[in-house]
Amino acid sequence: MGRSPSDLAVFVGKRLLQLVPVLIGITVLTFVFTHLSTVNPCNQWFPHSHGAVLANCQHMFGQPLYVQYGEYLSSLAHGNLGVSEAGIPVNPAIVNGVPATLELVLAALFLMIVIGIPLGVIAAQSAGRWADHLVRVFYLSGWATPTYLGAVIAAIYLAPYLGLPAHGEYTNTPPPFRQWTHMSVVDALLAGNLPYTADALEHLFLPAAVLAFINMGIATRMTRSSMLEVIPLDYVKSARMKGLTEFWVMYKHALRNALITTTTVLGVTAGGLLAGTVVVEEVFDWPGIGQYAYYAIGGGGATPNFDGAVAVVAVFAVGVVVANLIADILYGILDPRVDWR
């Protein structure tokens, strides 16, 4: 039985190694997108361009496939994610956008955990009764809300009603301090600027809440079903028999075990949250890669920016893989029965 810190390092290392084939697969798939989706995409991608850009593109597609893939990988390794149709490099936009999106997604995840998991516990405790039905209608409503509709209702109707901003990261941009991390709240905190921190939190709340609401179902449902599995077990009864109140029986003893299975859906959650950012960031004008993707895809009548779109897809894929990795490691830490070696 190995559960010392050094065993944990081995455990994490093994999981990291398992990622390699998936990451290679992702690059192959994105390569297929950029290079093979049409026979000679240059004219389609750059219908209005000419000269160097077009010639460069045409030359690249003259090479054999493996050479193209090699070139693609080496350019990826150099941090070159391509150039937009208008000739603007994709790279800086992604680098600046990822932290903002990460902040939004983490905030949404936080809301999902602090609201969605207790809702699942309540639903399990009252399984088959009205509170259970209410919770179910709540999370299925999130599930059934088209992302755009949810975002737009929050931005146009809810925001004025609650007195919350629904546009960008700060009321006054740019803020009077250095953007160290490109995460609005974190930067304001680092600068020690409390008014801006509060302002950033207010701006963050609505988009995060919309994202959380739409994805709530996964957390709540999983918590409910694993709680239902745990509640009839003897150790829950023996916790009750110690004289603990129902609250502690549920949250210290039952939920602690139910969470072990709930963490496994974290990866699925990441996919939903990231996909949601495309629309939510656009509606709330959040400067992340979701909004970048929206315009790169040609949303709002913009000219499609193919390299940009593929870059975002790749970043999101890596995000999902990393989320799954974290879920896997969390599972190993939460469940004392998992041997780390």
Residues 44-73 that bind another protein (CB under 8 A): none
3-class SS of residue 83? strand
Nearer to another protein, 200 or 310 (CB): 310
With a CB cutoff of 8 Å and minimum separation 6, the contacts of 317 are: 26, 30
> Does 156 participate in binding another protein (rule CB under 8 A)?
yes
> Does 5 participate in binding another protein (rule CB under 8 A)?
no
Q: Cβ of residue 208: shortest distance to another protein, in angstroms?
A: 18
Number of residues that bind another protein (CB under 8 A): 86
> Does 173 participate in binding another protein (rule CB under 8 A)?
no
Report the greatest alpha carbon distance in the chain.
Answer: 80
| 116 within 8 A of 109, measured Cβ to Cβ | no
> Does 256 participate in binding another protein (rule CB under 8 A)?
yes
Q: Cβ of residue 228: shortest distance to another protein, in angstroms?
A: 5
110-129 binders of another protein (CB under 8 A): 124-129
| DSSP string over 187-219 | HHHHTT-HHHHHHHHHHHHHHHHHHHHHHHHHH
Binding piece for another protein, criterion CB under 8 A, among 6-14, 166-174, 200-208, 223-231? 223-231
User: If we measure between CA atoms, which residue out of 267, 272, 266, 240 comes closest to residue 253?
Assistant: 240
Give the C-alpha separation, 271 to 107, whole Å: 15
267-286 binders of another protein (CB under 8 A): 270-272, 274-275, 278-279
Nearer to another protein, 127 or 190 (CB): 127
- How many Cβ atoms from other residues are within 10 Å of residue 264's Cβ? 15
Position among 309, 328, 332, 340 found at the interface with another protein (CB under 8 A): 309
Q: Cβ of residue 300: shortest distance to another protein, in angstroms?
A: 7
